[in-house]
Each structure stands twice: as structure tokens, then as C-alpha cells.
Structure 1
Amino acid sequence: MRGRPAGSRALPHRWGCVAGWCWAPRLGGWRGGFLVVLPPEEPRSRAGLSVGANMAAALRSAGVLLRDRLLYGGSRACQPRRCQSGAATAAAATETAQRARSPKPQAQPGNRKPRTGILMLNMGGPETVEEVQDFLQRLFLDQDLMTLPVQDKLGPFIAKRRTPKIQEQYRRIGGGSPIKMWTSKQGEGMVKLLDELSPHTAPHKYYIGFRYVHPLTEEAIEEMERDGLERAVAFTQYPQYSCSTTGSSLNAIYRYYNEVGRKPTMKWSTIDRWPTHPLLIQCFADHILKELDHFPPEKRREVVILFSAHSLPMSVVNRGDPYPQEVGATVQRVMDKLGYSNPYRLVWQSKVGPMPWLGPQTDEAIKGLCKRGRKNILLVPIAFTSDHIETLYELDIEYSQVLASECGLENIRRRSLLMETHCSRRPWPTWSTHTSSPRSAAPHS
């Protein structure tokens, strides 16, 4: 095993990684991460479905894993390896100009100056239907997510054409995405737990960094710099790594410092994936068992578990993106935990356009199962950690209501998303392990 240096000079982008410990050649060795799992409230019913997306007001217990320091900075800055060439688009320059205004601070309880910041990275979603076009325009201009001919012209055109359809979908789920609300609740519970577990790095403050809606990642970094943090953790909210999601967010951090022409004043660490963390797997398994209990006893063993993940274009997969393998690893670990008690499939949703994407598609799999008389299905969103348009509209309405009625399904349910904390406050390596004895922890699988 190669040795692990104490620091690094640049924010890493694409790493080879297993279960939270990542081999980072540019940084000279293995690097690790941490996981905080937060509780839902009791599930609520939505049109006969188990949505279960509410979070309990108090954090009952959780596991935290944070290993090894990654220092962003040093005597010189190195450009990270990119998901694809030309990722610094004209859109990035436009966003930099727009950020000249001072964004609204992400207010949190307490008035102590924070020492450690956790930047919660995600795609984000429009909170109102009026924000949909701007959201889509940023999305279609992101070359880490997709490449289009004359993208600076075609991207805005596609966004404008798709806006009315997507606005109607958001109206059907209440008028906007709840992802910011849930991320805030997760962040509040996370920093409360970290203040308790790691007082020597407290106070902790969470920051929300979205790619396509406010607060944008760049706006969050500006606030972190103004707060004068000692250290910062870029914490992806995607359990499985993809260049199109986590990679895009990490590129945004790099581009911010490159464009403003200065080095960060805080020491950065990165948690870029956690697909097979035991706590994550246990929470998936526990939720699935609870949902299976809602099926008629005589049907329970024949329920088909459909693990549904957001699809990717095959052009991205063929470049070596690790996302499908990491999603598959999560599914395998969950089914292993369940003892392979039920038939299951890994399926893919949200395909857009005529080009080849990962398959089989979720809706086609449901139709195929119906034709074979398999009419009891449990949908498990395996790559999401909070509700948004893909779960609340696509899974809950398009598939579980409209398609289920057309196919004549007997029972279809969706597993809730936010993880419960009865997955325990076990003696996982903690923040103090990460900061005070970085070499004492072994890779976690």
C-alpha cells in the first residue's frame, strides 16, 4: 500500500474510489470521507403511496465517518483532471458576473463565528414555477452534464422550449421543488450532531451549494470565505459518483477560485461518494423491510423490488463514468443485507431525447412485469437522498398512478427517501479521527 501524505495542493476531481476511501493520484494516496444520516418523520400517504419524506424535528442518532485531511491550497494551485475538455463554459463566466451582487446569507441558529463549514453539494431545483426556465438554462449549459453542438445557443433554446412542460410538472407536485427545504433540515441536524461529536472543530455551519438554482455553489463559497472558516468540507449529496453530478459541482469549486484569481483561505476536504457505506446500506434495507410489511402477507415474497436510479447517456458511460458500477454496488449490498428475499431489478429513469441511455427504463420494466403477471412492485429510488421532481412526479404520479392504472397493478409502493437514524450512533470513526489522527483509520468498505 502506498503511503498517505498529510496534505494536498489542489481540489481533486475524478478519483478511483471504493466505499468512501478514494485513491487520488494527484494527491499522492488514499483519501476518505464521512457520512451523516438523518431521520424522517412518520411516513405520510400520498394517493395510496408511502412517500415518507418528512424529517423528525430532533436528531435521534446518527453515524459520522470522516477520515484523513485533504488540504486545498499550498504553494501553487494545480488544475484538476476534468470530466471532459472545455468544461469551463461561457455559462461559468456569465454566472461569475451575476455573482457581483451579494447573495443573501444562509442564516443559521446561534451567533458564534463558525470554524468549520460543510458545503452540501447538489443539483438543486426551482422553488417556484417562475424559476424553472433559469434552472433549465443553467442545466443545459453545463458541459459536465451534457455536450451539445453550439451549446451556448442550443442550450437556452431547449430550455425555453421545455419550460412550459416542466412548469406544469412542478405545479402538479405543489408548485416547486422541496429539495432546498430538505437539504436545510439535513444540514441543521448535521451541524448539531457535529458540534456534539467534535467540539474542537466547532462551531460547525452548513452551506447549501446548488448547481442550477440559488444558492449557487459559487455563492456559497463566497459566504464561506466571508465567514473566515478554518476548514471546509465539500460534501456531495449524491451517494454514487458521476462526472455529471458530483464532478460538475467539484469543477464549479475549482473554477470559482480560478476565476477570482486567489487561493482559498480555508483548508478543504472532499467527500465525493459513499455508495457502500454500511450505515447507508442498513438504512436502505430497513426502509425496504418496512415497506414490504404494507403488502398483503400472502403477496410479500413475490413483490418485485425495482431499484430506480437516474439514467445517464451512454456517451457519458462509455467515457468511463463510474456511476452505473457504483449504483450497482449499492444495490448488491442492499440485497445482500436483505438475504435476497425478493426478486429485484436495477432500472433507470428520466431519459431525455433520442440518444441511447442506460436501460432498461423504469416505465418499460413496469410494463414488462405486468405482462408477465408480476403485479406487486416496490419502487426504491437508490440514487436520491431527498424528494424532488424525479420522485414526486415521475415515480409517484407518472408510474405509480397513471402507468399502474393502465397496467392493472395490484399494489405499488415507493420506499421513503430520508434515512432513519435507528441505523444507530455506533462507534464509527468521527470528526476527531479525521482532524487529530488522520493516519489511524483504515479504509472502510
Structure 2
Amino acid sequence: MALRSPLTGAWKRASSTSPSTSATTYLSPQASRWRRGNATLVPPVTQNATGSKGPTAMVFMNMGGPSTTDEVGDFLSRLFADADLIPLGRLQNYIGPYIARRRTPKIQKQYAEIGGGSPIRKWSEYQAAEMCRILDETSPETAPHKPYVAFRYADPLTEDVYKQLIEDGFGGGKGGRAVAFTQYPQYSCSTTGSSLNELWKWRNRLEGKRATTGEVDPEGAIKWSVIDRWPVHPGLVDAFASNIEKTLATYPEERRDNVVLLFSAHSLPMSVVNRGDPYPAEVGATVHAVMHRIGMTHPYRLVWQSQVGPQPWLGAQTSDTVESLIKKKQTDIILIPIAFTSDHIETLYELDKEIIGEMAEGHEGVKRVESLNGNPIFINALANIAKTHLESRSACSPQMQLRCPGCLSERCLEQKKFFAGQVQHL
């Protein structure tokens, strides 16, 4: 893949913007509300254009995070109840809540140390609003594009967002188009798969066979399509590469060539990996594309973070790797959160405080690249991905339709059938 080839799209223009420019410079009036707090809502939308190509609801899907410390308990309860993310066996409904209760006080303290809550909601709302602003210009035939954010474990929950869509005139007999846009660039059944399972569940309950006269695909339901993965999109690669180059430039020239790059991604239980989950391979593809983009100039490794519980997880662990390198006198290290599209507790606490602030204390050469957050290159890449998807008239990628070799989940099978089958309505 010619990753250095020029891109016809808005992020090419954005790449000339100074990386140090404040994200607020790019705020549209529609998106400016993100600065007033984490818990904001999209403005009401009226969808009365049944049969036309617009308006289009753009639904950002992500894990989410508690916006305040008071929300931590509910967040953890939902997280540990999700067998797609943390499989605990037949006793999931008992073990999950127990683990959540035990961990809540500790995790509340961590969120308190990063400002009292996760910034992932404000960044997701900002990114979605700015992407929609660009799409209104570049894809007028599907405009207006209306931003929504649906989280798996925190407010705004998928259930509430689906109800909001119906309230805003999408579905419920009025038709309309919606795109589920995963904000996990690399697909995993534990992340994107779990979010789609939840979306499919609420679609069935609110406007499927459980909510109507028994029709599986009732007239006037939302027409869905899915952007299910984008691990090597050139705009994503350019955004990561520009942040790495910016951080490399902070090292003295005589040390710069020997800096070790550690790409860190959220780990997975080995039971999920051995089932055939594509996530490790897709994260590796992102890493290789980024390294190719910067010219393979530095030694690098892909490492994994955020292991939970005693079961085997994918390694090597980020913390263990940093500790090992420091013991070997390698103290110029850049941490790169390669599977995250914005800051949250894994970057602000786990990487910044636990690893850089404590484990690597006194070693000023251990640094982290800036997260993508409001990076204009990244946001224009989102718009390019969405525009290409809307023009393709595809319901999802061919890869999404293939189950993991060891998958036995009937829910996963039916969810994939549903979203793949939406192509007949697009």
C-alpha cells in the first residue's frame, strides 16, 4: 500500500496545520458545547424526508467511560457483565457484579486523579460533530448529517441513543438512514462486536419483531449500515505518524535515532484471541503502516496494557516492557496508544501516572505521544472514511460477515446476518 501517496480529501489540507494548534480552533458552533462539560446531548433532529438520502444519523460507537466518579460503579457493573469483553463463564452474572463492587473504590480514586471523570464523551461528541460538519460540505446528497454518540458501558447508553433516534424522527415507521461508526479502528468481537450486539438487541426491541406486529423487517425502520474497521486508513496512519514525529523532535538530536517506540494497545483475554479474534492482527497492521509511514527509522515493539483478573491475557504487558528496558539502561522510550482515538483512563492514568509518573520516575526520556483527540488530520480522516462508506452503498465490510473460527455465539451470527442484510435497503 502506498501510504505516502497524497490523499484527495480534507485531511490532506489539514496536515499542513500546525500540530500545536489548539483543538478549540476547529470548533464549529454545533460542536462548541463540548467545552461546557462531559454530559451534553445532540440537538433535536426532525427526520421527515422518508425516501430521500438525507438526513443521515452518524452514530459513534465506543466503550465509553464514567463522566464523574459517581458513575464508576454503574460503568464497572456493565463492563464486567459483558461476556463479549470479559468472559467469566457460567457464573458471569454473579462474579461480574462482585468484581465491580470490589474494584469501584479503587477505580474512583483513579478517575479522581485524572480530573474527576473520563474525557472520552466530550472528545467523542466533538469528533462526531466536527466530522458531520465536514460531511455536510463533502457529501451534500446525504446531508444533513446528525451526530450521535452511543457508549456500551456509560452514558449515553446505546438503548437511550436508539430511543433518541426514534424521537428525532429516524425509524419508528418514518424510515431514515443511520450509520454505526465504530471508534475502535481495529475490530474485535469484544469491542466493536459487543457494541453491534447491543445495537442489534435494541433495534429488535424498539422497532423489530418484538416491538411491532411480528415483522422481522418492518416498513419504516431505520436503514442501518456499519463502518466496522479502518486499521490502515491513510488518514489514521498520518495522524499517528505526525504525533510520533512531533514527540521525536523533543529529544536531543544525538539521542533521537535510538529512541524505542512502544505501541500500546488494550489487551485481550487469550480465550478470545485463541477463538480467532482479528484484533491482534489488525492492531499489528496499524503499527506496521505507521512505521512504514515514518520510514522504519526506529526500533519498535507492539505491547499490551490493561489486563484484568488472573486469567492469561495477550502480552507482553506495556508496564513489564518499560520496566525491562529501563533495567537495560534504555531510557529513551515513546509510548504510543495505538488502539485509542482519544484520551481516557488508560492513557491519562495507566500510561501517564502509573508508568511514566511512577515506574519511570526520574527518567525524562520516557514520554507519551499526544492522543488523537481533536487532531484535524484525524477528524478529516473520519469524514473521508464516512463519505467513502456512504458512497459505497455497502452495509458492512466483507470481513465483518465472517465469524471467528471458534465462535459459537448464535447472537453474533444473527447480528452479522442482520447488518449484512441491510444492503438490500441502501
Q: Deviations over 1:88-125 (max 9, x none)?
A: xxxxxxxxxxxxxxxx9933398887711011000110
126 and 265 in structure 1: CA distance in 2 versus 1, 3 angstrom threshold: same
CA contact (8 A) 1:43 1:416 kept: no
1:240 positional shift: 0.4
SS in 2 for 1:241: coil
Q: What percent of counterpart residues are identical?
A: 52
Matched, 1:123 2:63: yes
Please name the residue that 2:169 is paired with: 228
What is the identity, as a one-letter code, of the residue corresponding to 2:376?
Answer: T
Instruction: Give the Cα–Cα distance (whole angstroms) in 1 for the partners of residues 100 and 318 of structure 2.
Output: 24
Q: Distance in 2 between matches of 1:424 and 1:107?
A: 18
1:420 equivalent among 371, 375, 384: 375
Contact 1:137 1:155 in 2 (8 A): yes
Q: Which residue identity lines up with residue 60 of structure 2 in the other structure?
A: M
- Structure 1 segments unaligned to the other structure (5+ residues): 1-17, 19-33, 45-51, 61-103
2:142 maps to a residue whose letter is T
CA contact (8 A) 1:115 1:228 kept: no
Q: 1:288 to 1:430 in 2, by over 3 A?
A: closer
Correspondence for 2:296 among 320, 332, 340? 340
Aligned-pair CA distance for 1:361 = 0.5
Report the TM-score when normalising by structure 1.
0.73
- Which whole-Å CA distance do the structure 2 matches of 1:217 and 1:36 have between them? 29
Q: Which residue of 1 aligns with 2:189?
A: 243
Asked whether the 8 Å contact 2:149–2:156 carries over to 1, the reply is yes
Q: Indicate yes or no: 2:134 matched with 1:134.
A: no
> Shift of the alpha carbon at 1:202?
1.2
Q: Is the 1:347–1:359 contact (alpha carbons within 8 Å) kept by the matching residues of 2? A: yes
Q: Is the 8 A contact 1:197 1:431 kept in 2?
A: no
Question: Helix, strand or coil for the counterpart of 1:244?
Answer: helix
| Higher RCO (CA-CA < 8 Å; seq separation 6+) | 1
Paired residue for 1:374, among 330, 337, 351? 330
- Equivalent position to 2:252, from 296, 304, 312: 296
Distance in 1 between residues matched to 2:128 and 2:249, nearest whole Å: 31
TM-score, with structure 2 as normaliser: 0.76
Task: Map 1:31-430 onto structure 2 (within 5 A).
Answer: 55-58=23-26, 106-108=41-43, 115-148=55-88, 149-229=90-170, 230-260=176-206, 261-262=210-211, 263=217, 265-405=221-361, 408-418=362-372, 420-422=375-377
Is the 8 Å Cα contact of residues 173 and 392 (structure 1) preserved in structure 2?
yes
CA gap 1:409/1:247 in 2 versus in 1, 3 angstroms: same
Task: Report the CA distance between 1:422 and its aligned residue.
Answer: 4.8
Which residue type is aligned with residue 81 of structure 2? L
- Partners of 1:437 and 1:321 in 2: how far apart? 26
SS at match of 2:26: coil
- Whole-angstrom CA distance in 2 between matches of 1:203 and 1:121: 20
2:169 maps to a residue whose letter is G
Is contact 1:120–1:234 with CA below 8 Å preserved after alignment? yes
Most deviating of 251-260 and 324-333: 251-260
Give distance in 1, aligned partners of 2:108 and 2:288.
36
Provide the C-alpha distance between the structure 2 equivalents of 1:289 and 1:433, rounded to a whole number of angstroms: 28
SS of match in other structure, 1:347: strand
Q: CA deviation at 1:410?
A: 4.0
Q: Is the partner of 1:163 in helix, strand or coil?
A: helix
Residues of 2 paired with 1:143 and 1:112: CA distance? 35
How many residues align? The count is 354
Take 2:225 and 2:366, find their aligned partners in 1: how far apart are those partners?
A: 41
Native 8 Å contact 1:197 1:430 kept in 2: no
Separation in 2, partners of 1:121, 1:36:
22
SS of 1:391's equivalent in the other structure is: helix
C-alpha separation in 1, matches of 2:277 and 2:307: 17
Is residue 112–residue 203 contact of structure 1 (8 Å, CA) maintained in 2? no
What residue is the counterpart of 2:421 in the other structure?
none
Matches of 1:245 and 1:224, distance apart in 2: 22
The answer to whether the Cα contact below 8 Å between 1:55 and 1:185 also exists between their aligned partners in 2 is no
Is the contact made by 1:307 and 1:344 (CA closer than 8 Å) also made in structure 2? yes
Q: Distance in 2 between matches of 1:433 and 1:342?
A: 33
Alpha carbons 1:127, 1:178 under 8 Å: kept: yes
Describe the shift of the 1:105–1:298 C-alpha distance in structure 2 as closer, same or farther (beyond 3 A). closer
What is the rounded CA distance, in whole Å, between the counterparts of 1:430 and 1:363 in structure 2?
Answer: 33
Q: Secondary structure at the match of 2:107?
A: helix
Q: Which runs of 5+ in 2 are unaligned?
A: 2-8, 29-38, 49-53, 171-175, 212-216, 399-426
- Using the TM superposition, give the Cα deviation of residue 276 of structure 1 relative to its aligned residue in structure 2, in angstroms: 0.6
Amino acid at match of 1:216: L
8 Å Cα contact 2:111/2:117 also seen in 1: yes
Identify, as 1 or 2, the structure richer in helix: 2
